[in-house]
Each structure stands twice: as C-alpha cells, then as structure tokens.
Structure 1
Amino acid sequence: MLGVALLLCAAGLWMMNAEMMHPGDKVIRVGVCVVFFFLGMVLLTIRPLRPGTEVCFDPVRRELRVLRTNSQGAVRTILRRRYDSLGAARLTSATVQLFEADGSLLFEVPLSTVQSRSLLRDQLSGSVPLLT
C-alpha cells in the first residue's frame, strides 16, 4: 500500500499549480517526484526474501507435510509423515503439538481459529493418540 501511495504522491505533485511556484521549487518538485516514483516502484516489486515454512495436514492422504519456500519462491517438501506414524498429538486452544513414537516433540504449530482446532482433531482422531 505504501508503494501505491508513493506513486500517487508522485503523480499528485504534478497537479499542483506551477505558475505560482518559484523556479527553484520546480526543480525540487522534479527531484521529489523522481524519488517517490522509484521508491514506490521498489516497494511494489519487492518480494519477501526470507524463506517460510508451512505445515499442511492432508485429510485425503491422511498425512502431514512440511513445506519450505526458499528465497526464489520455490516450494519444497522437507517432511512427509503419515498420521499413523506419529506418536501422539496434543491440541491446546492455541497450538497443536506433535510427538514422535518415543515421546519427543516433533514440532509445535500455532492454530489460528477454534474451527481449525476442531477440524484437525477430527482428522487426527483414530490415527493418532490425542493427549489431554
């Protein structure tokens, strides 16, 4: 949004009445317009450069996948586990914790809504022991 605002400001500066401006102010206006235009374009074209990790629970294949996006935007699967190969799961109000068969914590994932918690509980029940 900031990039769009800067582009609009660069265009809006040309709508000002130039007849009443001092000649030195006109040069400054050109410089400010160029800076706003290039900053706006940079902000519109920049992508996040940090890699992201996403956890997907697949109800059809009944498996868990961990996907990582690298800085170029390519998505790779770094972990794929069937639900029945997991040791246990603990669902809290804000997170789900998945454990290995030996009891060690595999990872913890934040849950955004109560509905996602209930859907996840329905998916995991029957395949993964649910801890209270």
Structure 2
Amino acid sequence: MKTETPNSSSSSFTKVKISNKKSKNKRINCVEKSLKESSHDLSLIKFKFGAVVGLVLFIVFGLLNSLFDGKVVTKLPFKPFGIVMKMSDRGLHGDDVTDCSMPFLFQGEGNNDVVPH
C-alpha cells in the first residue's frame, strides 16, 4: 500500500504539472496574440499620423512658397554652381547668383552656411 500511495500522488502531481504548463502556454499565447494586435494598431496609428504630418508640411511649404515667391530670402556666402544655382535662384529675377529663394533655403533645412538677408 505504501508503494501505491506515492505512485498515485506522483501521478497526480505530474497531472498538475502538465495542467499548469498547459495553462501557462494558453496565457502566453493569449498575451502574444494581444501584443500582435496592439502592435498592428500602433503601426496603423503611426502611419495615419505620418500622413497627416506630411500633408501639413506640404500645405505649409506651398503657403510659404506663395508668400515669398520672387523675393530674395538670403544671400549665399559662395557662388553656386550648375544645378545648385538653378535651385537657389528659382523664381528670382535679377543677375546676382548669390541671391537665394525660399525653396532652396527649406531644402537645406536651415543650413547654417547661409547668412540672413
């Protein structure tokens, strides 16, 4: 009888261990599923926010471009060459190649090399 009691308790203990493992696996799977759903929702929100920011920047750039169209915004401390000259002189009248328009200034994103006019 003594040998049956430890065996029966041992098998019940093994069953409890197995059921605990199954329970833990179910909880882990549930948490992983929740994490995937949350990650997907976060990605969607980030995409929408990025689209809104891009749209706002596009509108602001268009507004500033129309406000400063044909006006010299800065003087460049160097004589630009080739394609840089075409970008910096875009929409300006005159022959001074060191004059800089608003779109070129924003393309450089506040470059420290330009001197305010």
Q: Which interval holds the TM-score relative to the shorter structure?
A: 0.3 to 0.5
**Structure (1 or 2) with the larger CA radius of gyration:** 2
Which structure has more RCO (C-alpha within 8 Å, separation ≥ 6)?
Answer: 2
TM-score under structure 1 normalisation?
0.35
TM-score under structure 2 normalisation?
0.39
